[in-house]
Structure 1
């Protein structure tokens, strides 16, 4: 038998595996249901039957049972022999009161702003650009601005996703003992908050759109007098003279051309000795599972952005008058790409 051909038994296994891949969207749909109706919160005090959960959430018990049974095959919830469902470590993260809750993040990632463009991935691949504006009538961020509920879901979801990684990122980099850090497009300020708490000699500026800044998370007695919020457009300019500039999950949202506008605004604001930290997934050319490769397709379908490898970052930074000095891994899915002014 040709060693490159799967054995007869393996063909059946591969068939089943491909079928699971083809139906993977159903796992996402079931996960969204569980997150939206708060199943994990209702299991916090112990297991419940589908009938009990349905009475608490106002849904159909038989249909809920089937959705949760599917999630249990991925170790999100566990069904016992009596038909009751239990929390698992993964399901614990869907609790709204979990310290690093993923509930808002899951709801955001399974929202129609990502779901519908993913369903038209073939159109994106054929056209060479996102078809988001064909679906929603405007590019991604314009859509969020004109549909408040979509913008709120995105901002809340991003804050939820960042909550599990901000301290890991802040702890993976040696910041200067004193100086100013500007978090560009920093959302509600989770990363800046963790950075300032870890580095008591630093002050910080949270720089984002005014509507986002109204919901910031910097009110903390330990940070009194050490931060400010400043509204603005990072395509046009950023606060000047800081020691460190943070760009977390920003560059991956945009095309190379738009990234250059952001990076050139940063370069114009930097002083001698300033450092820029681009915090994104850094793609490695291999066949290993990698959340960054999944996010890359998400960026491609909805935003027209992309995840990048080290050499792609190096070239992009150089075009903006910046030099990549090192890439630091963190305990999260993010890496820190450090750059200085040339």
Structure 2
């Protein structure tokens, strides 16, 4: 429904708004089928819901009703004979799908996120993220100290960010040679993609010690990187030719971002660049994933999604200059900065 054309009656407005308020139920349904791996039991051929229920250890009637709702958003399809199939959009829920969305859905609907969203009104009154008051510590401290939350978070970020970063990679030209420093690079999925597509580069995977993958099976990409443990608020590895920050700046306040970016500025080799892979909030009233993600930041941490002008300001304060923004198909853009 749009108010840009036609007459919207009070009754229509009420029905529309209440329907929108029920949108969280679609998220709950997605979480349920992702947790239970329902999509993994659907191949090329439709299956009766009773078979799906038996395979997933669920109640057939309840499962049917959840799938019926998700069919309205083109995740599943209910055939005329009642059997269930997986749509092309729903394929991302399969665990074996490249950049599977399964754990990203689970992460996006973690109990911590639901609870913080419920208290968003309190956040509006205080100007502070609800999460710390609810859980007694900062979000990333909680994740680090809670194995179950850590598994959901890191597994989810791998899938949530993987597909978006894949789209953004197609828009950015990496140097032919030199060293890429992935600042806050987690378990190395993004750096691996960069190195696989740019064989002349070497990499540094930089993050806190408890996040780094450590002793894992090596592959052609990870043989060309070194792992460095540290805190990007203190310093980052020196002499990189390109510093990559993917899904990092949106986690932190402007002041905290300036500290991170200043440390990158100090460490940069002559002629080096910084590439921030993050959402950029666009002007206007059109649907924008960055505006959704911005509320997630508001609920959980001190950060925010930023406009181009807001990126320019934090770069200026860090001794950098905004060089260009490369929009990508998906929620991410590449925001490039150079030393002043």
TM-score by length of 2: 0.94
5 Å-filtered alignment, 1:83-232, equals 83-214=82-213, 219-221=218-220, 223=221, 225-232=223-230
* Residue segments in structure 2 that go unaligned for 5+ positions in a row: none
Q: Is 2:165–2:277's contact at 8 Å kept on the other side of the alignment?
A: no
CA distance in 1, matches of 2:285, 2:173: 32
CA distance in 1, matches of 2:14, 2:119: 24
Q: Is 1:187–1:216's contact at 8 Å kept on the other side of the alignment?
A: no
Comparing 306-315 with 269-278, which one deviates more in the overlay?
Answer: 269-278
- Structure 1 residues 225 and 79, CA gap change in structure 2 (3 angstroms): closer
| Corresponding pairs, count | 338
Q: Is 2:139–2:301's contact at 8 Å kept on the other side of the alignment?
A: yes
CA distance in 1, matches of 2:5, 2:178: 61
What SS does the corresponding residue of 2:97 show, helix, strand or coil?
Answer: coil
Aligned-CA RMSD value: 2.0
CA distance in 1, matches of 2:12, 2:71: 21
Matching residue of 1:332: 330
5 Å-filtered alignment, 1:1-342, equals 6-7=6-7, 13-214=12-213, 219-221=218-220, 223=221, 225-342=223-340
What SS does the corresponding residue of 1:282 show, helix, strand or coil?
Answer: coil
State the 1:19 CA deviation.
Answer: 2.4
State the 1:146 CA deviation.
Answer: 1.0
- Structure 1 residues 16 and 246, CA gap change in structure 2 (3 angstroms): same
State the 1:6 CA deviation.
Answer: 4.9
State the 1:13 CA deviation.
Answer: 4.7
State the 1:169 CA deviation.
Answer: 2.4
- Structure 1 residues 66 and 144, CA gap change in structure 2 (3 angstroms): same
Q: Is 2:107–2:153's contact at 8 Å kept on the other side of the alignment?
A: yes
State the 1:17 CA deviation.
Answer: 2.6
Q: Is 1:93–1:100's contact at 8 Å kept on the other side of the alignment?
A: yes
State the 1:15 CA deviation.
Answer: 3.9
CA distance in 2, matches of 1:208, 1:309: 26
What SS does the corresponding residue of 1:244 show, helix, strand or coil?
Answer: strand
CA distance in 2, matches of 1:336, 1:5: 35
What SS does the corresponding residue of 1:67 show, helix, strand or coil?
Answer: helix
Q: Is 1:208–1:232's contact at 8 Å kept on the other side of the alignment?
A: yes
State the 1:225 CA deviation.
Answer: 4.1
* Residue segments in structure 1 that go unaligned for 5+ positions in a row: none
CA distance in 2, matches of 1:55, 1:4: 48
- Structure 1 residues 165 and 290, CA gap change in structure 2 (3 angstroms): same
What SS does the corresponding residue of 1:338 show, helix, strand or coil?
Answer: strand
What SS does the corresponding residue of 1:211 show, helix, strand or coil?
Answer: coil
State the 1:218 CA deviation.
Answer: 8.4
CA distance in 2, matches of 1:338, 1:146: 34
Q: Is 2:131–2:300's contact at 8 Å kept on the other side of the alignment?
A: yes
State the 1:200 CA deviation.
Answer: 1.2
CA distance in 2, matches of 1:168, 1:25: 27
Q: Is 1:235–1:265's contact at 8 Å kept on the other side of the alignment?
A: yes
- Structure 1 residues 7 and 175, CA gap change in structure 2 (3 angstroms): closer
